[in-house]
Amino acid sequence: MSKTIIISNRLPVQLEIHNNSIISTPSVGGLATGMKSVHESGDSLWLGWSGIPTEDLKKGDDVLIKNELKKHKCVAVDLNNNEIDGFYFGFSNRTIWPLFHYFTEYTEFEHSTYEIYKQVNQKFADKIIENLNDGDTVWIHDYQLLLVPQMIKEVKPDVTIGFFLHIPFPSYEIFRTLPWREELLEGILGSDVIGFHTYDYERHFLSAVQRILGYDAEFNVIKNNGRGILVDSFPMGIDYDKFHEAAKKNSKQKRSEESEVQFEINKHLNADNNAKLILSIDRLDYTKGIANRLKAFEYFLDNYPEYHHKVRLVMLAVPSRSNVPQYKLLKNEIDQLVGRINGRFSEVSWTPIWYFYRSMPFENLIDLYTSSDVALITPIRDGMNLVAKEYIATRTDKTGVLILSEMAGAAKEMPEALIINPNNFEQIANSLHEALSMPIEEQITRNTSLQKRLKNYNVTKWASLFNEALQNVFNVVEKSTVLPLDANAEANLIDKFKKAKQRILFLDYDGTLAAFEKIPKNAKPSPALKERLMRLYNLPNTKLVLITGRDRETFNEWFGDSPFTLITEHGAWLKEPEADWELLEPLSDEWFTSIQPVLESYADSTPGSIVELKRYSLAWHFRNVDPVLGNRRAKDLKATLQQLIANNNLEILEGDKVIEIKTSGVNKGKSACKMLLNENYDFILSMGDDWTDEFMFRELPEHTHTIKVGKKETVAKHFIKGTKEVVGILEKLTM
């Protein structure tokens, strides 16, 4: 039976070994809490790090761990201390975490930790592949594992892979600062469905993919490798009933059953008729805005003295990543702020802040949620923030006010809360006043809508919508039918080549034999390339055709003295070795006068674009233009040209970041087929990267070995990554 494999950095249980016996406790944190109900209810296997470094394991511990994890349907990925430092405390938490939360000043760009991050991601990928059966679905979670989707897809192209990011995806301007931006994006794009909490994160991701990798996106589908990748927002919900029912149970508790926390809370609430409790719960993290919150609370106490003695802020800060320097600094800052505020305002019978630096059992969490009149949640940036949702779920009598930062993903779904800017002390203080004096009826009205939404769109719904998208993704997007030229296919190609009696090779130039250059003239063939082509040419019974969209003059300069067959301007010109250039089609340039000014005006108004004048065609190149602007202008230009070329026997060719206008009927396919007329080739190879090469792939005989270079849609039979791989194949043909 097929299963879902869930993968996250940490498992949903934390393990500790004491005196040869193992203790497991549930993990705290948004991801673990959210996915737990999915894991428990379905047929699934959860892979992640056990929490114990391999150095701490004694002989036999691995078996103990394995057996314990088996009970929880989990499998451990073993990590040693060096890996934990580099991968988790290093690249994950000192590079990605701060950068994705817009804390650029905390972001470290450290090559060595990235290398370990890569190795550990590979370890996760290997473990997944080891546990994978046909028909299984893979669901990878969060920023620690950005490279894993691609690592799996490369080995198992047929597996359906989902990826969900629990933290924000930053804007392109922030993301582009990462030295490893291309690799990380490619890593995520190994997935078939990519999910974010909000539409903002989704559009930032789409923008980064288009601008950094140059891949096209149609609405929320990215075209990559001839396959579609669905990108969507799936705001994560909570296990509403669990929190609601726990709160109900809590309200029916007898005094004797009360916890110590509840006892202390009640003491405060009973001390004054108007006593109120404000709650703050987070991991101790600089993204959560804890310092700002404290300062805003101090500002509130200064400006609203009538609340002295009556109001208390209960602040639970759960220890987190204390190995990372910024977290240590933050801990000191919070300690000092709490000390200062309590020092300033405390009286014998009243301390304004109750501060807990630890985690609490679930029951105490419920005590806090149910006893607090206000929840004050003010992150500077937060992917979602489940605490905001949990607080509302526990308000069984529908009272209570949520003050929520607009920077939390949750704010998008909770407009009935008092939404604040976490950097605006005054606004936070005024909202506290508004919350504490809000009429009960208004609280009930707001919370009724909130609860309805949270109950309906709970974590099960979230997971099932994501899963549905994953199961149906190939009804929405295209599954790649093009195969990579893997070792078997390559061996077959070489074998056919060696055994053939008459061979012909059609090789495109830019993007196939030579990498793209910012200035097209700079893509001149290197002596090494020329030598390699000569070796091919010198093989017996082998015809070598270089086929390009470039103009005749440039190719004549580069290859005029080489003995290869040259076809330029998409098939307008032909030069056989030792012969003169010959025009393959009757062409004219009379139409330039009406079209060239239009292209020039687009080049003027679109920074980075240029017009290329060929002998019988005109091209507008926009490779160096911002991709979004470039695509928009290209669309406009095409529409304008379509009106101008009507009745002119011209056609518009859309290449890779180029729009070309030329006499219709001239294309690489037609001219390549002409080369076959008088010979009987039993081996034909055609390689190209561009849309214009598709004419060759389509029109050459069925037995042609067609290879697309790069990750685009194609009718070719195989694809390879890039020019380096092209060189590799050519080398092997001459060996």
Name the residue among 174, 162, 170 with its Cα closest to residue 201.
170
For position 281 contacting ligand GDG by CB under 6 A, the verdict is yes
Q: In terms of CB distance, is 389 or 532 closer to ligand GDG?
A: 389
Q: Shortest approach of ligand GDG to residue 477 CB, angstroms?
A: 25
> How many amino acids of this chain bind ligand GDG (CB under 6 A)?
24
List 192, 285, 373, 508, catalytic entry: 508
CA 206 vs. chain centroid, Å, equals 9
For position 405 contacting ligand GDG by CB under 6 A, the verdict is no
Q: In terms of CB distance, is 422 or 571 closer to ligand GDG?
A: 422
Cβ–Cβ under 8 Å, residues 624 and 606: no
Structure tokens at 667: 């294309």
Residues 166-185 that bind ligand GDG (CB under 6 A): 166-167
Q: What stretches of 198-254 show up as alpha helix (H) in DSSP?
A: 199-208, 240-251
Q: Shortest approach of ligand GDG to residue 118 CB, angstroms?
A: 23
For position 28 contacting ligand GDG by CB under 6 A, the verdict is yes
Structure tokens at 404: 């929520």
Pick the binder of ligand GDG from 161, 178, 365, 650 (CB under 6 A): 365
CA 407 vs. chain centroid, Å, equals 20
Residues 31-50 that bind ligand GDG (CB under 6 A): 31, 33-34
Q: What is the 3-state secondary structure (H, E, C) of 495-532?
A: HHHHHCCCEEEEEECECCCECCCCCHHHCCCCHHHHHH
b/e per residue 651-689 (b: at least 16 CB within 10 A): bebebbbbbbbbbeebbbbbbbeebbeeeebebbbbbbb
Q: Which residues contact 240 (CB under 8 A, 6 or more apart)?
A: 393, 451, 454, 455, 458, 459
Structure tokens at 185: 């994006």
Helix (H) or strand (E) holding 287: none
For position 390 contacting ligand GDG by CB under 6 A, the verdict is yes
Name the residue among 421, 433, 438, 439 with its Cα closest to residue 297.
433
Q: How far apart are CA 217 and CA 224, in angstroms?
A: 9
Pick the binder of ligand GDG from 326, 359, 424, 556 (CB under 6 A): 359
Q: In terms of CB distance, is 170 or 630 closer to ligand GDG?
A: 170
For position 144 contacting ligand GDG by CB under 6 A, the verdict is no
Binding segment for ligand GDG (CB under 6 A), chosen from 22-30, 46-54, 347-355, 629-637, is 22-30
Q: How far apart are CA 203 and CA 217, in angstroms?
A: 11
Q: Which residues contact 587 (CB under 8 A, 6 or more apart)?
A: 572, 615, 616, 663, 666
Q: Shortest approach of ligand GDG to residue 604 CB, angstroms?
A: 46
Pick the binder of ligand GDG from 236, 261, 401, 419 (CB under 6 A): 236
For position 465 contacting ligand GDG by CB under 6 A, the verdict is no
Q: Shortest approach of ligand GDG to residue 282 CB, angstroms?
A: 6
Q: How far apart are CA 32 and CA 541, in angstroms?
A: 64
Pick the binder of ligand GDG from 213, 275, 360, 539 (CB under 6 A): 360
Which single residue brings its beta carbon nearest to ligand GDG? 30
Q: In terms of CB distance, is 125 or 236 closer to ligand GDG?
A: 236
Q: In terms of CB distance, is 393 or 661 closer to ligand GDG?
A: 393
Pick the binder of ligand GDG from 30, 51, 237, 400 (CB under 6 A): 30
For position 51 contacting ligand GDG by CB under 6 A, the verdict is no
Helix (H) or strand (E) holding 50: none
Q: Shortest approach of ligand GDG to residue 385 CB, angstroms?
A: 5
In the annotation, is 508 catalytic? yes
For position 318 contacting ligand GDG by CB under 6 A, the verdict is yes
Cβ–Cβ under 8 Å, residues 403 and 431: yes
Binding segment for ligand GDG (CB under 6 A), chosen from 125-133, 356-364, 576-584, 629-637, is 356-364
For position 383 contacting ligand GDG by CB under 6 A, the verdict is yes
Q: What are phi and psi of 560, to 5 degrees?
A: -55, -35
**Residue at 322: amino acid letter:** S
Q: Shortest approach of ligand GDG to residue 287 CB, angstroms?
A: 7
Q: Which residues contact 346 (CB under 8 A, 6 or more apart)?
A: 352
Binding segment for ligand GDG (CB under 6 A), chosen from 209-217, 379-387, 496-504, 629-637, is 379-387
Helix (H) or strand (E) holding 221: strand 221-224
Q: In terms of CB distance, is 341 or 388 closer to ligand GDG?
A: 388
Pick the binder of ligand GDG from 204, 283, 711, 712 (CB under 6 A): 283
Helices 425-436 and 290-303 pack at an angle, to 10 degrees, of 60
DSSP code for 384: -
| Active centre residues (catalytic) | 508
The residues that touch ligand GDG, with contacts defined as CB under 6 A, are 28-31, 33-34, 166-167, 236, 281, 283, 316, 318, 359-360, 362, 365, 382-387, 390
